[in-house]
Amino acid sequence: MSRLVAISNRVAPPSGGKTAGGLAVGILAALRQSGGIWFGWGGKTCHGEPSEPRLERRGNITFATVDISKADFDSYYNGYCNGTLWPLLHFMLGILRYDQAQHEAYQRVNQLFARKLRPMLRPDDHIWVHDYHLIPLAQELRRAGVTQPIGFFLHVPFPGYDVLRTLPGYEHLLRALAQYDVVGFQTRQDCENFLGCLRSAGLGGERDGDGRVTALDRRIRVDAFPIGIDVGEAVQQAEAAIASASVQRLRHDLVERELVIGVDRLDYSKGLPERFRAFETLLARHPASHRQLVFLQIASPTRTGVRAYDEIRHELEQSAGHINGRFAEPDWTPIRYINRGISRKMLMGYFRVARIGLVTPIRDGMNLVAKEFVAAQDPADPGVLVLSELAGAAAELGEQALLVNPYDAVGVADAILKATEMPLAERQARHAAMLEVLRANDIHAWRKRFVDALGA
């Protein structure tokens, strides 16, 4: 069996604890099956040329981490990755910022990864690269003489041509992606957007008879591989967490009220200000909902010190204060806003208690919170998922979730109201159908489909 080499921007070697998160679960499961290397940045910066990768062996997996020079890191990560590519790929051109020096740092970091990884490769390795931080990596590896199969999976959306071409030098991204053997996206629409960009740029993009795509005289596979969750683990965690003191206190505080829950990173793509306005619209349009609903929004900090993220945090704090000041009563606070991280185990317990999951990003590659909410529900008395039609999860769960446009405050408010009034039998039927989809497309099916495609 060929060895698998997985590469991502960040690798956290397991120094005794369990590595969490959907990406980590999928990669680790694939690596345990075949043995291999997980390669990436270890979280440290340095001055000058980074040293050789640090290696940590666990079972049949080697965790290989490199430093990035301090001079390059900020321009690469906060600059080009998160100031340019992230807004571009999420269709948010109003906050896109481009700087040639930052783009050059992005290229240098990818060259660094290729240079440090190349000596570790074996002739029969299969290489699996993850996300927008490392789009040029295959191109750099090919220049270094690597001929092994290389696959790429994009965890975020991919835009259409009219959006992509606002980026100076966008053709470089398309040419770099064409150097992979398998290019995977979350949804079919992302695939079509990519192929449309190739065609519009004159770089190929036509499917052959066997389903592969010709681009720059190479034949590559382009397909959707929707990422999932470990459903069994999520169910187990939710059932266990329901008895915890924190979850029991929340249930006690709710009394007979129903909990609406949102859990997100504090990021402008998650639609949090729009979500707060939608909940305010619900309270304003439907007074009967007063005292009956409590909206708990957990927004864990991310990229602190970046202006756009600091502005969102201040906006949400002001919005929560405004809404509570307008509608709260001595024994009822409509919004509970938490700006810190909560353990995944506790989140699964909160999901179990909640009647409505409010997942309304203004653009998202997949959104695993939607899937975790569904998995955490009690099948005998499940809650309802209100889901943005602009999240990748809508392609899988859309028929059974209540789909909304996150910009439509009235529409989101009406969907929340509909969820509160939904009969038990309908809730059970919707939940069972969504859970069946989650089990069919879980995290293990995701990694198996991609690794099999790479092997083929």
Question: Both tokens of residue 30?
Answer: 């694939």
Contact between residue 420 and residue 258 where contact means Cβ atoms under 8 Å apart = yes
pLDDT, residue 18, reads 45
Q: Which one of the listed residues 364, 414, 431, 442 is annotated catalytic? A: 364
**What is the pLDDT at residue 22?**
61
**Considering the chain, what is the average pLDDT of its residues?**
93
Q: pLDDT per residue over 182-240, tens digit each?
A: 999 999 999 999 999 999 999 999 998 787 999 998 999 999 999 999 999 999 999 99
DSSP state of 293: E
Instruction: Tell me the per-residue pLDDT of 38-78, one tens digit each, with 9 for 90 and over.
Output: 999 999 999 888 889 999 999 999 999 999 999 899 999 99
pLDDT value at 37 more than 80: yes
Decide if 322 is catalytic: no
- For 252, 286, 323, the CA distances from 289, given in Å and listed in that order, are 19, 6, 14
For residue 305, the model assigns a pLDDT of: 57
Percent of the chain with pLDDT over 70: 97
For residue range 338-397, list pLDDT tens digits in order: 999 898 889 999 999 999 999 999 999 999 999 999 999 999 999 999 999 999 999 999
pTM score of the predicted model: 0.94
User: Catalytic: 90?
Assistant: no
The tens digit of pLDDT for each residue in 142-181 reads 999 999 999 999 999 999 999 999 999 999 999 999 999 9
Q: Give the homologous superfamily in CATH for domain 231-440.
A: Glycogen Phosphorylase B; (3.40.50.2000)
Please name every residue paired with 260 in a beta bridge, in sequence order, or none if there are none: 295, 356
CA gap 204, 206 in Å, rounded:
6
Residue 452 neighbours by CB distance under 10 Å: 10
pLDDT band per the 50, 70, 90 thresholds, residue 16: very low
Q: Is the pLDDT of residue 19 over 60?
A: no
Architecture of the structural domain at 4-228+443-455: 3-Layer(aba) Sandwich (3.40)
| Marked catalytic residue, from 90, 103, 126, 155 | 155
What is the DSSP code (8-state) at residue 347?
H
Q: How far is CA 402 from CA 105, 115, 405, in A?
A: 43, 48, 10
284 Cβ contact partners less than 8 Å away, ≥ 6 residues apart:
none
Residue 304: band (very low, low, confident or very high) from pLDDT cuts 50, 70, 90: low
351: left (phi over 0), alpha (psi -120 to 50) or beta: alpha
Q: Using alpha carbons, select from 120, 105, 112, 102 the residue that is nearest to residue 137.
A: 112
Q: Which residues contact 160 (CB under 8 A, 6 or more apart)?
A: 193, 196, 197
Q: Could you tell me where in the chain the CATH 3.40.50.2000 domains are found? A: 4-228+443-455, 231-440
